[in-house]
Structure 1
Amino acid sequence: MIKSYLKTAWRFLLKNKTFSFINIFGLAMGTLCCLYILLYVQEQYNYDKHHKQVDNIYRITTDLELTGDKHHSSTSSPPITPAMKNDFAEVQQFTRVVPTDGFGAKQHLLRYKEKSFYEHDAAYVDSTFFDMFNYHFVGGNASKVLTEPYSLVLFKPVADKLFGTEDPIGKMISIDNSFGKHDFKVTGVIDESLGKTHIHANMFMAMNSGGLGGFVRQNTTWAGNNFLFAYIKLKPGASAAALEKKLPDLLNKYGAQQLKEIGMKKVLHLQPVTTIHTTPGFEHEFTKTLDPSFLYILILIAVMIQVIACINFMNLSTARASKRAKEVGVRKVIGAGQSDLIRQFLGESFLLALIGVAIALPLLILLMPYLNQITHSDIQLSFFTNYRLWIMLLSLVVVTGLVAGSYPAFYLSAFKAVKVMKGNFNNHISAGGIRKSLVVVQFVLSIVLVTGIIVIYSQLNYIKNKDLGFDQSQKLIFNFYTSTTQRQMPAFTNDLKQLAGVKAVSNADNYLGQFVPHDHGVYLAGGNMATAIDAQNINVDENFVKANGIKVISGRDLRQHDSTRVLINETLAKRLGLNPQTAPGTRLYTKYEPNPVTFVEVAGVMKDFNYNSLHSEVNPFMLVYDGQQDELNTIIVSTDSKNYKGLLSKMEAVWHKDIPDAPFEYSFLDSEVQKQYESEITLSQIINSFTLIAILISCLGLFGLAAFSAEQRSKEIGIRKVLGASVSGIVALLSKDFLKLVMVSIVIATPFAWWAASKWLQAFVYRINISWWMFALAGVLAIVIALVTVSFQAIKAALMNPVKSLKTE
């Protein structure tokens, strides 16, 4: 029986090649998209799940409130976790991680023998780090790698780059960064083959190595200095909720006085490590997190594409029912029951789904590099080690087979044997209303996706062209990562000023569009830290405002030797209760224990500008003049040259003259600003690619239905042509029914698309207004696509010789 079913199904597929191609290709493309998206979502939710006893590992997060400013931070103060280990028996172990980026060491110059290069993403960690977190050690002993001062664990690609085929364990390398130049001993080499983690670094340096690590180990500040990532592991059976309730008493025991002095409210929380990667909203994350809504959108896209492919199968199967009506009648006459026929037709749909998967897999392997490039991922197909992959494949076959085949199976098996054997089956196989409804569903989904493309593109275009309040065009950024190159900065700065095409050159400790790590609480005379306003700040020289095109609306710009003067933005002036026009000359005070009260004078007020991304509003902000300029490790160059290639060539020559031992590296400010929107750009690329596939699948289905419609009405078309109907009239006749369905789809899709777009745009403080033309454009595109698809078959039918269609009458 099964053999008979398979043979019949195979013969039907071969006999109806167009029908078979549309179904198999649609299911294959849908399965390809669906499978890749499921693999991507699985990878994102699997971050950190490979660590041993991971359910007992938590990160300490901090909620801060200072004079009304609230901060939801993923970091905490250095002494907190050691005190937890000491005071609470349920805490088995702790470890702390300090990325060097936030302290000016964004790049590190590594040297071994004659080989040297810059490397990024480094962190100081406690010796207990690899006891708590599991990485695959290619070389070295996990329990001992960070016990000695100036010991170092390298990520395998970095070790390969530095040592080649030589064994790195025990070798001494030189690391030069903004903290100075030191020799480190390589004690371990790791990779991420066990699984991905939110704590990704190319270098892990022992915390007991002096410098920044020494500062952490000696730090006793409980209120401020919330700059490191702290983790604890609880003993088996310990309750995280119960421990979290004890944390206010811990803060009160050790930090009450410090918190009172600066007027800060502080609450500590325990966050499960497995939730970190998919929990956005924290300040100061170690690596970029992913919003779950982004993953939900991807899953929704995957479902939509697969549903569109399944609809093709349902529509074409019911449309071609007349071809199989007599087969059903014969089978019923010789004893087949309805349940037998249902199993037969479901089996055929499972067979098609299986063929679709068989075609999708090699295509997925072929397209994997392209898809990974779109999603900025590195997903690999592991057929022998990833059992979840086989579960996904089996689930796709089963679900697709059931969804695509259920309606045709029940529909075809319900034919009455006597009537279909007599040729009277028209009433049974019309199903026109069902097919029209499914076409509407297809185009509703396609229109929603197209509208998504339009809205996302419009928002990204708005971001790209919005006046941020500073000039980001024609700006070059040079970063100086080592103590040696920082000493050579003044010479390079002076030489740059002499080049034609250079308008201004400024030194700073950061550039706009980047995370601002520094903040200070400031208050007016008569106030105290309890009433202070927390203001982010960048240390700059006297040329920063000019180089970045910032507008000073009152007072004056910074000048040389302005060691006690600052520029503040309008927001900070208003938060302090000052009139921005009269604020210049006002003294601002600050005090952090054990330092005495200090003050700065407002030199001028800047017009508010978006120094951070458009996801957040403008906060209180200052530019602080750094008279010593020993911490300014960035040069911003404003140019007006039309010959960038020539200008960069001259800059490179000056670089090699002034800084001969470091590679020439630079970036463009506008490109750095756009990097803040990587998630949105990625989403745009994903929706663009998968929407094209969804539209292609929909067009194939519509093409098949148009061909069926033309075939069913061939005699009607012949009669109309004999009676004088024109080709255009016949094309319009065959097209109008499908265009009506598209118009209905537009009406249904518009409110869904508006709701989805509104939800997505809420992530931006600064955003576009949703306009009617976005939905109109999506609708027009849908009409054009449908018209082009249907017209091909309509024109073909209209051009046929009527004699051929009428000769049997």
Structure 2
Amino acid sequence: MKNTLKPIIRNFIRKPAINLINLFGLAISLVFVIILSVYCYNELTTDTHHAGGDRIYLIGKPGAGMNTPAILKPHIDMEVPGVEASIRVAGTWQAPVFQTENGEPITSDLIFSDPDFFSFFNYKTVEGDCAAALNNPMSVVITKPLANKLFGRNSALGETIKYNNEKLLTVSAVIEKPTGNSFLNFSALTSIETRKILQPSEGEFKEWGWSNFQTYLLLGENADPTQVAKTIFSVFPKEFQKWVEEIHLIKLKDVYFSNLQTFGAHHVSMGDKTKALILLFVAVLILIIALVNFINISSSQWMERIKQTGVLKVIGATRIIIFRKVLSETFLVFIAAVILALVIMAGITPIIQSYTGIQFSTKLISSPKLLSILFTATLVFSLILSLIPGFSISSSKAVNNLKRSVDQNSKKTYLRNGLITLQYVISIVLIAFTTLIYKQVEFGSNNLVFNQENTIAVKLTPQLDKNIIKDEFEKIPEVQNVSMSQFYPGKQLSSWGTRLKLDGQEHEVHFTTFSADAEFFSIMNLEIVQGRLYSDASEKDKNKVIVNETFLKEFNIENPVGGTFEMNNNFDYEIIGVMKDFHFKSVENAIGPLAIINQGYASYGLATIQAGDFNSLSSTLKKINQVASQISPAFPVEVSFLDSAVKNMYESEVRFRRTFSLFSISAVIICAMGILAMSIFASQRRIKEIGIRKVNGAKVSEILSMLNKDFVKWVLIAFVIATPVAYYAMNRWLENFAYKTNLSWWIFALAGKLALGIALLTVSWQSWRAATRNPVEALRYE
């Protein structure tokens, strides 16, 4: 081992700059490759950790999302063969507040389920009996993080917590967060029977029109999901089948990427498989760049040390010994890079997660499974990457080695130049794609057609009565307008299917809806294009409806004014106006039919603030917080700016933008490190030529041009190759958006210029050093 390490260390010290570039470039590449791979693995294996997950399905309805009525479960249990068990899961429209006797109120996510929940989903029990919590009303299961917030290090078992400052719940069990990624997000879980007490609703469990639950099925071993879905559809009453249209059963591991609508399901998070695969592809590209750097640098180093190989052959070294020497050095460099990467990751992973928003368990990085994969990959790559220099050196003649005349044929030069060109192709594609992502996100956030400036939203609580808070806010001089609404952009919406009676005819309609007062239209700067707006002062305008332009297009209606919607067998909701379309969801989604109803329900208080500068805006916010906190002392007051909520509409896109741009820039930097090393080699190989040219009167600019022209040529070739590749990839990505930015020519031009600029900056520094060097130093031994 000593005889192997000693020459490797000596060779490393002889050219420290190039070797450090090689080692750190490989290590940094592995950092990003591992982080991206672990994140994508975490995403792509969502909910695969549940035992029996292959037989667990969620009922989904195209267009209506994943919500189903509570009354469906007993019918499935009695009438649908092939179903071994079923459970219902529901969340809350607003996250409740939990509080211990002397503790601070904590806002947390709560879900309700049937007793068999833990037979479907695997969670590790820390203490207590989970089954008891779902069999006994007013018992609750909480996660370990919530238990720590509420009770510190003390045992939570048997303790009571206050729900929304009203009802008392007894902690029957504490569970760990799931070991793998899950689309179900909650901190507390209680029974369906408890829901009837905490959120009493007379028709929720008796009427088919209430769809507030997600229904999960455990199918028998031989059950056919398609046939089960057809049978469940037949269970729905005839008058509801036209709204359901059809039933699909989505396998549990596929729910996360199913793109089902999640109306009111705050406890459900959905992923984007396309984005995960794109980031995984970025990881592959970074790895390719790193390996190309390693091949070019390592092979060039071995060509430089060809005389050393000749001496080994003269003293009796066989081809196997020389090849083993190449392999051992490659393997040790890879092992050193892996160890360095793991050390760097320990400090940098939390920073990357904080900046990009991508989340995964850091335990995965140090897991035996990942470490074994890293070791195996290191061995495989070391063997593969040792073949080229190992075969070339071991097959050369000792005489040629000692003369330093190893065969530098054109095939090897073309291979090296081709690999460098490949790096530039990847860099140009990544730069262009990053630019497009920025352009698309900006396009979406700037084309929403509603006002976002100096508008705040206050989440209402049981103590924040909408009438009281409106009166108090209007007393603040800087507050211009105040509105009470169930919704503002960035928040969850309801879906409603009913009949519309218009001009003596009935239309079946399905649309998104929420309740808001008349001031909402003024605050959001929404334009009425047909009919009129309802008035808060007029009692006759109760239950009046404003629809959007898409509502007319969707249902082929020219003038909906005077039409009425059916609710509880009565056509009481009258359309009195049409508003201009605005984006109430991300521009990734097409604008759908929308109806805003004057029902008087509210979940948020909206207010526009007149503020000349930051200090006055900050002062007004303090007044609003103070007023709200005085009215609602038992509940945390949540105040947010509307533009922040709008950013939440694009949270997925912004997170993807940050992640993609960070890793793309890193890939370009790693590519530049490899080009820097190659430029050092190029200038060192031609140092005598440079000295002769300078002696014969060559200018520094001419030397720079000579050394740089090859790299410029490779960038231009790479640009020609990368442009159609980038165009195709970017065009495919834009197809995911209903409203998208233009694929402008300047994106490709900018990517090419940046790649050329990076190449010239990287190469020119070393070229300038070589061009300004005293030629006597290069020729003194000639």
TM-score under structure 2 normalisation? Answer: 0.93
Distance in 1, Cα, partners of 2:380 & 2:654: 32
Secondary structure of the 1:115 match is coil
Alignment equivalent of 1:119, drawn from 84, 100, 107 = 107
Partner of 2:45: 46
Say whether residues 1:97 and 2:97 are aligned partners: no
In the other structure, the counterpart of 1:230 is 215
Structure 1 window deviating more from structure 2 (265-274 vs 700-709): it is 265-274
| 1:608–1:16 CA distance, 2 compared to 1 (3 A) | same
- Which amino acid in 2 is paired with 1:166? N
Partner of 1:280: 259
Give 2:602's match in structure 1, choosing from 632, 637, 649.
632
Matches within 5 A, 1:679-758: 679-758=652-731
**CA shift for structure 1 position 510:** 1.5
Shift of 1:380: 4.3
Choose which of 495, 506, 513 in structure 1 pairs with 2:490: 513
1:216–1:95 CA distance, 2 compared to 1 (3 A): farther
Q: What is the alpha-carbon distance in structure 2 between the residues aligned to residue 762 and residue 625 of structure 1?
A: 37
SS of alignment partner, residue 278 of structure 1: coil
Classify 1:7/1:731 alpha carbon distance in 2 versus 1 (closer, same or farther; 3 Å): same
For structure 1, which segment, 436-445 or 189-198, has the greater mean C-alpha deviation from structure 2 after superposition?
Answer: 189-198
Residue by residue, what CA displacement relative to the aligned partner does 1:745-769 show, whole Å, maximum 9, x if unpaired?
Answer: 1111111111121122122111111
CA contact (8 A) 2:184 2:269 kept: no
- Cα deviation 1:522-553 (Å, max 9, x = unaligned): 42336676x31212111111211112111111
Equivalent position SS for 1:271: strand
Find the aligned partners of 1:489 and 1:250 in 2 and give their Cα distance: 41
Provide Cα deviations, 1:147-202, integer angstroms capped at 9, x if missing partner. Answer: 1111111122222222223332222222128xxx3222221222215433222211
What residue in structure 1 maps to residue 451 of structure 2?
A: 471
Contact 1:520 1:537 in 2 (8 A): no
Structure 2 counterpart of 1:490, from 453, 456, 467:
467
CA 1:249/1:317 → structure 2, altered by over 3 Å: closer, same or farther? closer
Rounded to whole Å, the distance in 2 between the matches of 1:472 and 1:227 is: 31
Unaligned runs of 5+ in 1: 64-70
Q: Deviations over 1:691-738 (max 9, x none)?
A: 232222222211121111111221221222222222122112211111
User: What is the CA–CA distance in structure 2 between the aligned matches of 1:267 and 1:246, rounded to whole Å?
Assistant: 12
Quote the Cα distance in structure 1 between the aligned partners of 2:225 and 2:571.
Answer: 39
Alignment of 1:196-211 (within 5 A): 196-209=181-194, 210-211=196-197
Supply the AA of the counterpart residue of 2:482: V
Q: 1: CA distance between counterparts of 2:120 and 2:316?
A: 67
Q: Distance in 2 between matches of 1:438 and 1:775?
A: 21
TM-score, normalized by length of structure 1?
Answer: 0.90
- What amino acid maps onto 1:512 in structure 2? P
* Residue 531 (structure 2) pairs with residue 545 (structure 1): no
**In structure 1, what residue type is equivalent to 2:174?**
V
Aligned-pair CA distance for 1:347: 2.7
Q: How many residues align?
A: 773
User: Superposed, which structure 2 residues align to 1:210-359 within 5 Å?
Assistant: 210-211=196-197, 215=201, 219-222=205-208, 224-235=209-220, 237-239=221-223, 242-252=224-234, 254-259=235-240, 263-284=242-263, 286-359=267-340
Q: Secondary structure at the match of 2:131?
A: coil
Pairing 1:368-767 to 2, within 5 Å after superposition:
368-382=349-363, 386-427=367-408, 431-466=412-447, 468-482=448-462, 484-485=463-464, 488-525=465-502, 531-560=507-536, 561=539, 562-579=541-558, 583-584=560-561, 586-591=562-567, 595-626=568-599, 629=600, 631-642=601-612, 643-767=616-740
Cα gap change, 1:361/1:318 in structure 2, threshold over 3 Å: closer, same or farther? same
CA distance in 1, matches of 2:322, 2:412: 19
Instruction: Check 1:415–1:221 CA distance in 2 against 1; reply closer, same or farther (3 A cut).
Output: farther
The structural deviation recorded for 1:513 is: 3.0
> Could you tell me how far 1:376 is from its partner in structure 2?
2.6
- What SS class does the counterpart of residue 511 from structure 1 fall into? coil
Structure 2 residue 746 is matched with structure 1 residue 777: no
AA aligned to 2:644 is S
| Equivalent position of 1:76 in the other structure | 68
Once the two structures are TM-superposed, the CA of residue 782 in structure 1 deviates from its matched residue by 0.9
Alignment gaps of 5+ in structure 2: none
Give the Cα–Cα distance (whole angstroms) in 2 for the partners of residues 375 and 112 of structure 1.
35
| Equivalent residues of 2:424, 2:718 under 8 A apart | yes
SS of the aligned residue for 1:116 comes to coil
Verify the 8 A CA contact 2:130 2:172 in the aligned structure 1.
no
Partner of 1:110: 98
Which residue pairs with 1:26 in the alignment? Answer: 25
CA distance in 1, matches of 2:305, 2:692: 27
Find the residue that maps to 1:541 and give its secondary structure.
Answer: coil
**CA deviation vs aligned residue, 1:282-327 (integer Å, no higher than 9, x gap):** 4446422222221211221111112111111211223234432233
**Distance between the aligned counterparts of 1:165 and 1:121, measured in 2?**
21
1:541 and 1:625 in contact (8 A); partners too? yes
The answer to whether the 8 A contact 1:540-1:625 is kept is yes
Please, what is the CA RMSD of the aligned residues? 2.5
**The residue matched to 1:763 in structure 2 has which SS?**
coil
> What's 2:342 paired with?
361
Q: What CA distance in whole angstroms lies between the structure 2 residues aligned with 1:478 and 1:372?
A: 29
Please give the secondary structure, in 1, of the residue aligned with 2:268: coil
Match of 1:67 in 2: none
**What amino acid maps onto 1:248 in structure 2?**
K
Deviation of the 1:116 alpha carbon? 3.5
One-letter code aligned to 1:532: E
Q: Tell me the distance in 2 between the aligned counterparts of 1:39 and 1:465.
A: 34
Identity between Structure 1 and Structure 2 (%): 28
Q: Match for 1:523: what amino acid? A: L
Distance apart, 1:328 and its partner CA: 3.1
Number of the residue aligned with 2:767 = 794
Aligned partner of residue 635 in structure 2, secondary structure: coil
Q: How many Å apart are 1:265 and its aligned residue?
A: 4.6
The CA distance in 2 between the partners of 1:693 and 1:424, in whole Å, is 38
Q: 1:459 to 1:474 in 2, by over 3 A?
A: same
1:135-154 to 2 correspondence within 5 Å? 135-154=123-142
CA-to-partner distance for each residue in 1:31-65, whole Å, 9 max, x for gaps? 111111121122223332332322222222223xx
Q: Is the 2:133–2:140 contact (alpha carbons within 8 Å) kept by the matching residues of 1? A: yes
Letter in 1 for 2:89: V
Cα displacement string for residues 372-394 of structure 1 (whole angstroms, at most 9, x for unaligned residues): 22343454444898332123312
The 1:193–1:589 alpha-carbon spacing in structure 2 relative to 1, beyond 3 Å, is: closer
Q: Which stretch shows the higher mean deviation, 409-418 or 689-698?
A: 409-418
In structure 2, the residue matched to 1:66 is none
Query: Could you tell me how far apart the structure 1 residues matched to 2:222 and 2:250 are?
Result: 15
